[in-house]
C-alpha cells in the first residue's frame, strides 16, 4: 500500500510539473496568487510584482493625473519589467479622498495624493503639503530632504502602515476662481469655496464657508451653484478642468498654497517585502516624478494663462494688499494654534518655521533681489 501511495503522489507531481510547464510555454508566466496585486513568477525564474497605484485625481488630468502614469512606466523600465504598476484615477477603484485608508489597508500598494487631506486623522499633515504663507515649492523640497522634514513625515505615517515620499510640487498656485469680485475681506462673507487644508480654516475665519470636495466633483458644483468659488492648482491644470467656463474671475496669488507638495504613499508592509533593488527603484521613481511634475507646470502655466486671458476672456485679478495682510494675520493664528495640537505637531512646527526663517533670509538677497533686478527699467 505504501508503494502504491508513493507512486500515486509521484505521478501527481509529474502531472503538475507538466501542466505548469505547458502553461509557462503558452503564457510565459504563472501566477502565484489570483490577486492582481500579488507577485508572479516568469519562465526565467524572476519574480514580477503587479501593484496598484490609486490617485486623488481624474485619470487624464494634465500633470497631476498623468505623472503617476509616467512614474509607473519608468519604474517598469528601470526594473526590467519586474515591477508593473497599474494606475487607477479617482473613483476607478476608490474615491479620491479614500486613498490614505485604501493604501494603509492594502487595497492598493501605492497612492498619489495630498497630505493635507488627512488632517482629520493626523493634525500635522498640512506641514507636509502646504502651509498658508509658508514655504515655496523649492523651499519645501529643501526642507524635506535636508531640513529634517522627511524623517518627521515618516514618523507620523508609520502607525498607519504607510511610507510617504514626495511625488511632485505645484509651485505657487493661484488663489482660485470666483463668481464675484473680491475688493475687501467682507466680500468673502458667506462664500462657499472648495478649499482644503489650513487654507480652508483661514477662509472660514475670514467669513467664508470652506468645502472639502474631491476634484472630480468640483466642476459640476460650480456649474450648479453649489459652490461660489474654487481653488485648484494653476492655469495649466485649471484650464484643463474647464473652470473658466463656470467662473468669471481668476484671483492670485495663492497665499493658501505657496508650494504644495504631492505625496506618494506606499503600503509599508508591501514595500518592505520587496527586494532592496526594487525599493530603491521605487524611491528613484518618486524623485523623478517629483521634479518632472513641477517642471511641467512651470513650463506650461504661462501659455495656459495667456490662452485663458486672451482667448477665453478670463478676468485676471490680484487680491488687494489689505486683504492679503488680513489673511496673513489669520493664517499666523491658525498655524500657531495647530502647533499646540500635540507634542509631535509642535516639533514639526518648530522644524518648519526654523527652516522657513533661514531660507527666507537667504532668498531675500538671492531669489527676491534677482527678480526685482530683472524688473529694473531698460535704457
Is the pLDDT reported for residue 345 higher than 90? yes
Predicted confidence band of residue 216 (pLDDT cuts 50, 70, 90): confident
**Local structure of 267: helix, strand or coil:** strand
For residue 197, being part of any structural domain is answered with no
Cα separations (Å) of 104 from 30, 87, 324? 28, 17, 38
How far is the C-alpha of 101 from the C-alpha of 118, rounded, in Å?
10
Cell for 321?
494688499
The domain that holds 133 is classified in CATH as: 3.40.190.170
Within-domain flag for 112: yes
Asked if pLDDT for residue 289 goes beyond 70, the answer is yes
Mean pLDDT of 286-297: 96
Mean pLDDT of 147-175: 97
Dihedral sign computed on CA atoms, order 224, 96, 229, 235 = negative
Task: Give the model's pLDDT for residue 40.
Answer: 73
> Cα separation of 99 and 86, whole Å?
15
What is the residue-averaged pLDDT of the chain? 90
The confidence score (pLDDT) of residue 38 equals 66
pLDDT in tens, 271-288: 999 999 999 999 999 999
What pLDDT score was predicted for residue 3?
A: 32
pLDDT of residue 41: 66
pLDDT score at 215: 85
User: Which residues partner with 315 through β-bridges?
Assistant: 249
Q: What is the pLDDT of residue 163?
A: 98
Percentage of the chain beyond pLDDT 70 is 89
The reply to whether 330 falls in a domain is no
86 part of a folded domain: yes
Total domain count, the chain: 1
pLDDT tens for residues 46-70?
Answer: 899 999 999 999 988 899 999 999 9
User: What pLDDT does 81 receive?
Assistant: 97
What pLDDT digit, counting tens, does each position of 305-334 carry?
999 999 999 999 999 999 999 999 999 999
| Residues spanned by the domain of 60 | 30-168+260-297
Torsion of CA 216, 220, 221, 224, to 10 degrees: 180
Tens-place pLDDT, residues 227-263: 999 999 999 999 999 999 999 999 999 999 999 999 9
Q: With residue 47 as reference, give the H or E element that holds it.
A: strand 47-55
Mean pLDDT for 281-307 is 97
What's the pLDDT band for 379 if we cut at 50, 70, 90?
A: confident
The answer as to whether 284 is a domain residue is: yes
Per the CB < 8 A criterion, the answer to whether 272 and 206 are in contact is no
Cβ atoms 130, 247 nearer than 8 A:
no
What 8-state DSSP symbol labels residue 124?
Answer: T
Q: Is residue 318 helix, strand or coil?
A: strand
Contact 339, 124 (CB under 8 A): no
* pLDDT one-digit tens code per residue, 74-131: 999 999 999 999 999 999 999 999 999 999 999 999 999 999 999 999 999 999 999 9
Where residue 32 falls among pLDDT bands split at 50, 70, 90? very low
Q: Mention every residue, 6+ apart, whose C-beta is less than 8 A from residue 177.
A: 222, 229, 230, 231, 232, 238, 243, 244, 246, 247, 249, 250, 251
Calculated CA dihedral for residues 225, 230, 232, 234, nearest 10 degrees: 110
Burial (CB < 10 A; 0-12, 13-18, 19+), residue 237, is buried
* pLDDT confidence of residue 148: 98
Beta pairing partners, 41:
30, 47
Residue 308 forms part of a structural domain: no
Check residue 262 and give its pLDDT: 97
pLDDT value of residue 16: 37
Q: Within the chain, where are the H helices?
A: 2-27, 67-78, 99-104, 137-146, 149-157, 197-205, 215-224, 235-241, 268-272, 276-306, 321-339, 343-365, 367-374
Within a domain: residue 349?
no
Query: Is residue 163 assigned to a domain?
Result: yes
Question: Which residues, at least 6 apart from 261, have a Cβ–Cβ distance to it below 8 Å?
Answer: 114, 115, 128, 129, 130, 137, 140, 141, 144, 166, 167, 168, 169
Whether the per-residue pLDDT at 12 is higher than 80: the answer is no
Helices and strands (H, E) in the chain, number of each type:
13, 13
Distance CA 239, CA 221 (A): 16
Q: Determine the Cα–Cα distance for residues 14 and 19; give it in Å rounded to an integer.
A: 9
Amino acid at each position: 500500500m505504501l508503494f502504491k501511495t508513493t507512486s500515486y503522489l509521484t505521478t501527481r507531481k509529474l502531472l503538475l510539473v507538466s501542466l505548469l510547464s505547458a502553461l509557462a510555454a503558452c503564457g510565459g508566466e504563472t501566477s502565484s496568487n489570483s490577486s492582481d496585486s500579488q507577485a508572479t513568477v516568469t519562465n526565467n525564474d524572476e519574480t514580477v510584482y503587479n501593484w496598484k497605484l490609486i490617485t486623488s485625481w481624474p485619470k487624464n488630468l494634465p500633470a497631476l493625473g498623468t505623472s503617476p502614469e509616467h512614474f509607473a512606466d519608468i519604474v517598469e523600465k528601470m526594473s526590467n519589467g519586474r515591477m508593473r504598476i497599474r494606475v487607477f484615477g479617482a473613483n476607478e477603484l476608490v474615491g479620491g479622498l479614500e486613498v490614505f485608508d485604501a493604501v494603509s489597508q492594502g487595497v492598493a500598494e501605492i497612492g498619489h495624493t495630498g497630505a493635507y487631506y488627512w488632517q482629520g486623522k493626523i493634525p500635522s499633515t498640512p506641514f507636509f503639503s502646504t502651509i498658508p504663507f509658508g514655504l515655496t515649492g523649492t523651499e519645501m523640497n529643501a526642507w524635506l530632504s535636508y531640513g529634517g522634514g522627511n524623517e518627521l513625515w515618516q514618523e507620523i505615517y508609520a502607525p498607519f502602515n504607510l511610507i510617504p515620499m514626495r511625488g511632485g510640487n505645484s509651485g505657487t498656485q493661484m488663489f482660485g476662481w470666483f463668481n464675484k469680485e473680491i475688493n475687501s475681506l467682507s466680500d468673502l462673507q458667506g462664500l462657499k469655496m472648495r478649499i482644503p487644508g489650513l487654507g480652508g480654516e483661514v477662509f472660514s475665519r475670514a467669513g467664508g464657508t470652506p468645502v472639502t470636495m474631491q476634484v472630480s466633483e468640483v466642476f459640476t458644483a460650480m456649474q450648479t451653484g453649489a459652490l461660489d468659488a474654487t481653488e485648484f492648482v494653476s492655469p495649466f491644470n485649471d484650464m484643463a478642468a474647464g473652470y473658466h467656463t463656470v467662473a468669471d474671475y481668476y484671483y492670485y496669488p495663492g497665499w493658501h498654497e505657496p508650494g504644495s507638495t504631492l505625496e506618494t504613499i506606499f503600503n509599508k508592509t508591501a514595500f518592505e517585502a520587496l527586494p532592496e533593488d526594487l525599493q530603491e527603484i521605487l524611491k528613484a521613481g518618486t524623485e523623478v516624478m517629483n521634479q518632472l511634475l513641477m517642471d511641467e507646470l512651470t513650463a506650461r502655466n504661462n501659455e495656459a494663462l495667456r490662452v485663458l486671458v486672451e482667448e477665453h476672456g478670463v478676468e485676471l485679478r490680484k487680491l488687494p494688499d489689505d486683504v492679503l495682510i488680513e489673511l496673513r494675520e489669520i493664517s499666523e493664528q491658525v498655524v500657531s494654534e495647530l502647533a499646540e495640537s500635540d507634542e509631535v505637531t509642535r516639533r514639526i512646527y518648530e522644524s518648519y518655521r526654523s527652516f522657513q526663517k533661514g531660507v527666507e533670509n537667504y532668498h531675500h538677497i538671492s531669489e527676491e533681489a534677482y527678480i526685482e533686478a530683472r524688473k529694473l527699467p531698460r535704457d
